[in-house]
Amino acid sequence: MKQHVLDYLERHHGALLAFWTTGGACEATVEEHCDLVYTLELTGEIGRIHPSAAANFAQLLSGYGLPGWKRRGEANQLNVHNCAYAFGTLNLLRPHHGDLYARVLEGRELMLDEIIDEQSATPRYPKWLGHHNWRVSHWIGGAPSILWSLGHSQYAPAAALKPLAERILAGADKCLDRKTGLIKLYKVEALQKLFRLLYGVRHDPDLGDLGGVAHILWVNHAAGRSYIAPESLLAKSSELFRAHAPFMEAVPYCLDFDVVQIVRTAAMQVGSVSPDDVRRATGMMASIEGFFASRLNAEYRLHKLPGALATYHECAMLAEQGSIDGLRMKPVDIIRKAFWL
């Protein structure tokens, strides 16, 4: 299985792979760079990264405007989600290439009011997206993820930012329904029903709800916090995990990870893992192996690959597999290592 992934990278993203493994030049987006590093981490190949590549990535990020810092006239800016993803990449690089946060953040002035409301201790998000749980969750989960990453870095204000992240996580709980554990920001039930009807033309709205709250649960999992209504979250995620096969949608990607990761971590909090979920996890691993063997081609976007691989690792942990034969490595709890995906 590992070889299928590496062959895909060589065949379809060869210049990007060379950037990271040989220190060569490559024109790529920040997201694509992050995708490649996560993929190397999840295939046990992160040791191949060239030292100059890590430094060059930090230099690349230093030229972007970042949410939570005063703008310096940068031509390009990252949104909250991609900033959290870039910081997750720095977290994965740190054990091998040192803490790179100082290089990325040197000379910047913090402006946290852009991403959080310190008075109410809540993440800021576009109010007009309150009906769209999946989209709005990138702000609600992304802001505390950024703070949590900073709090574990060598960035000068880190000592103050970790407890702030904990406060914002507690504040984010206010965005969740106490009975279901899902995001609930909308005000008018009839309008929400209409939105779900329209959303359902292309996607399962229940999957959208889980994919949304996952962004908040990730950071809670990293921080060791209890979930709101873990029993309800486990019941809903298990239901959808078993109902959608072989994958949540047409191909494996981050939505599969969202669902399986909630099943596993909510089960940890509840203290009970269903044998049916274990069987489903084993079956999904086989489905991912089959997909990688036959359908990992140019039509499969690179950004989907880390989610599919992370799903594979989650399934292995759910099935209590101490090692993954197809990747020749132990399962990785990517959220505990990177704090975002």
At 204 the pLDDT is: 87
Q: What was the pLDDT predicted at 188?
A: 67
Are 169 and 239 in a shared domain? no
Residues 58 and 140 in one domain: no
Do 184 and 253 belong together in one domain? no
The region of weakest confidence among 13-22, 74-83, 137-146, 179-188 is 179-188
Mean per-residue pLDDT over the chain, rounded: 95
* pLDDT band at residue 16 under the 50/70/90 scheme: very high
Q: Would you state the pLDDT for residue 24?
A: 87
- Rounded Cα distance between 141 and 335, Å, is 12
Residues spanned by the domain of 319 = 229-341
Q: Is the pLDDT of residue 331 over 80?
A: yes
Residues 131 and 110 in one domain: no
In a domain, residue 210? The reply is: no
User: Around Cβ 63, how many Cβ atoms within 10 Å?
Assistant: 11
Q: Which of 114, 135, 165 is the last residue of a domain?
A: 114
Could you tell me the two tokens for 176?
Answer: 């969740």
- Among residues 84, 114, 144, the one where a domain terminates is 114
Which pLDDT does position 89 carry in this prediction?
99
| Dihedral sign from CA coordinates of 181, 185, 188, 190 | negative
Return the pLDDT at 207.
94
Question: Are 65 and 124 members of one domain?
Answer: no
Interval 164-188 mean pLDDT: 93
Q: Are residues 108 and 125 in the same domain?
A: no
Q: CA nearest 1: which of 256, 307, 328, 319? A: 328
Mean pLDDT, residues 258-285: 98
> Is position 170 within any domain?
yes
User: Is residue 287 located within the same domain as residue 316?
Assistant: yes
Helix (H, G, I), strand (E, B) or coil at 251: coil
* Mean pLDDT score, 269-287: 97
3-state secondary structure string across 6-47: HHHHHHHCHHHHHHHHHCCCCCCCHHHHHHHHHHHHHCCCHH
Q: What percent of the chain has pLDDT above 90?
A: 89
Same domain, yes or no: 60 and 158: no
Whether residue 46 is contained in a domain is answered as yes
CA–CA distance from 329 to each of 5, 35, 38, 89, 95 (Å)? Answer: 14, 19, 15, 20, 17
Q: How confident is the model at residue 203 (pLDDT cuts 50, 70, 90)?
A: confident
pLDDT at 53: 98
Q: Which ranges constitute the DSSP H helices of 115-253?
A: 133-151, 158-172, 189-199, 205-223, 230-243
CA atoms within 13 A on the CB side of 172: 37
Q: Is the pLDDT of residue 312 over 90?
A: yes
Whether residue 103 is found in the same domain as residue 5: yes
189, 223, 257 — which closes off a domain? 223
Task: Tell me the C-alpha distance between 175 and 196, whole Å.
Answer: 18
> Are 189 and 95 contained in the same domain?
no
| pLDDT level of residue 153 (50, 70, 90 thresholds) | very high
Looking at the structure, tell me whether residues 62 and 78 fall in a common domain: yes
Q: Is residue 71 part of a domain?
A: yes
The domain total for the chain is: 3
- Verify that 167 and 101 share a domain, yes or no: no
Answer yes or no: is pLDDT of 72 > 90.
no
Distance of CA 75 to the CA centre of its chain: 26
Q: What is the pLDDT of residues 185-201, one digit of tens each?
A: 877 677 777 777 777 77
pTM for the predicted model, two decimal places: 0.96
Q: Cα(82)–Cα(66) distance, rounded to whole angstroms?
A: 9
